[in-house]
Structure 1
Amino acid sequence: MKLTVVSAGTTSPSSTRLLADRLTESLTKQLGAAGETLEVHVVELRDVAVDIAKNMVTGFASPALQAEIDAVTGADGVIAVTPIYSASYSGLFKSFFDVIDNGALSGVPVLMGATGGTPRHSLALEHALRPLLSYLRAAVVPTGVYAASQDWGGQDAAELHDRIDRAAGELAALMTGAPSRRRAADPFAAFVPFDQQLADLGHLDT
């Protein structure tokens, strides 16, 4: 099975990548216990940031960026993690998903995660990330994982670990469930433009 991990962290190392790695580790263990093997591909958005910006203004993806887009849209599951700036996802994270065709993630199981300096930004998962991924028709798991700075140590670390395992378990269930691995049909795939419908009617009159 193929997993693509999207990390929008801008530093190396970053707490965003750390959370992405923890989620991947938990998912790998849970799928392994179910007899599944996992092929993991990590997309570090900072490495293709310039390519994303050029795609935004030209409409064309570089080979490097296209390879990363293909890795996301062709995966059996996706983990997408972003830092939170000004109570929302980063501009780099949003720009990457903006250059992905609408519907290309249709039916793909996605686990969303985010990091920030304060717990106050945790709601960004629900008011920003979930609507974005749902708009792309992804199958977003119920549990999103937010990690504030304080969550990496002490009692909060245990609670973060539990959230990670719960969310990874939900992603594993979607990835291994037969219905969830079938891409949802595009309801507009058979759409016929209005002018074509009129032309067809005219042809029938003759």
Structure 2
Amino acid sequence: MSTLLIAGSPSERSRSAALLDAVGQRLGARGALVERLHIRDLNPQALLLADAAHRSVARAADLVARARVVVVSTPVYKAAYSGVLKVFLDLLPQAALKDKTVLPLATGGSPHHMLALDYALRPVLQSLGARHVLPGIYATDAQVALLPEGAYQVGAELAGRIDEAVQLLAAETLRHTPAAPRPRFAPVHFSQVRCSV
């Protein structure tokens, strides 16, 4: 399954990116072809001026178009997903997520912002035509610990939820995989049919 991981954090390293990486590692271990898109790396002027034709934005939109599965990760600020993610999603074509399965991920300072996934991000993903938006994963800062060397570590309880989400994502993708066409045989004229009794 071709999977695109979209990092919606304006920071180079973040808890939401660590959550996204954890999902990506598990998908990769299942044999998925995983590509990454960091919105912060797109041309900022093109994003702010809504220049969908800009090379970096058009390339990012092409990555979305080619993927069967999209995993979107964002930090939650003021009970909403990140501004850079909003700007990017606004530039995508109206049916950019048509026939795709989407897994939303979010991180925030406290559990009080967990509804941002369902009330802010999910409606936008559905408006872009997503075939199925899976139940999202929300993690607090305490569940994605900052290690002394500067890396982030996903806690055990959160790792279990990620495992379940990836399993559901794989099952959903396989369930909606079109069946391979059955081989067709050339027609045989009745005079060529041989029977034995």
Under a length normalisation based on structure 2, what TM-score does the superposition of the two structures give? Answer: 0.79
Q: Quick check: 1:75–1:108 contact (8 Å CA) kept in 2? A: yes
Q: 2:148 matched to which residue of 1? A: none
CA distance in 1, matches of 2:93, 2:40: 20
Consecutive unaligned residues in structure 1, runs of 5 or more: 182-206
Q: What is residue 69 of structure 1 aligned with on the other side?
A: 61
Matched, 1:107 2:105: no
Higher-Rg structure is 2
Match of 1:52 in 2: 47
Choose between structure 1 and 2: higher helix proportion: 1
Could you tell me how far apart the structure 2 residues matched to 1:60 and 1:158 are?
Answer: 40
For residues 105-151 of structure 1, the C-alpha deviation after alignment (integer angstroms, 9 at most, x for no partner) is 11201100011111111111111111111111113443211111111
Q: What TM-score do the two structures reach when normalised by structure 1?
A: 0.76
* 1:103 to partner: Cα distance: 1.1
- CA shift for structure 1 position 12: 2.2
Indicate the RMSD between aligned Cα atoms, in angstroms: 1.9
Cα distance in structure 2, aligned partners of 1:144 and 1:99: 23
Q: Following TM superposition, by how much is the alpha carbon of 1:180 offset from its aligned partner in structure 2, in angstroms?
A: 7.7
Structure 2 gap ranges (5+): 146-153, 180-197
Report deviation, 1:160: 0.8
CA distance in 1, matches of 2:26, 2:144: 16
Match of 2:5 in 1: 5
Letter in 1 for 2:139: A
- 8 Å CA contact retained: 1:27, 1:171: no
In the alignment, the residues of structure 2 paired with residue 133 and residue 97 of structure 1 have an alpha-carbon distance, to the nearest angstrom, of 8
Runs of 4+ with deviation above 3 angstroms: 178-181
Asked if the contact 1:84–1:121 (Cα under 8 Å) also holds between the matched residues in 2, the reply is: yes
Who is 2:174 aligned against? 176
Aligned length: 170
- Pairs within 5 Å for 1:1-206: 1-29=1-29, 32=30, 37-48=31-42, 49-54=44-49, 56=50, 59-152=51-144, 157-178=155-176
Is the CA contact (8 Å cut-off) linking 2:98 and 2:131 kept in structure 1? yes
Contact 1:84 1:115 (8 Å CA) reproduced:
yes
Change (3 A) 1:87 1:119: same
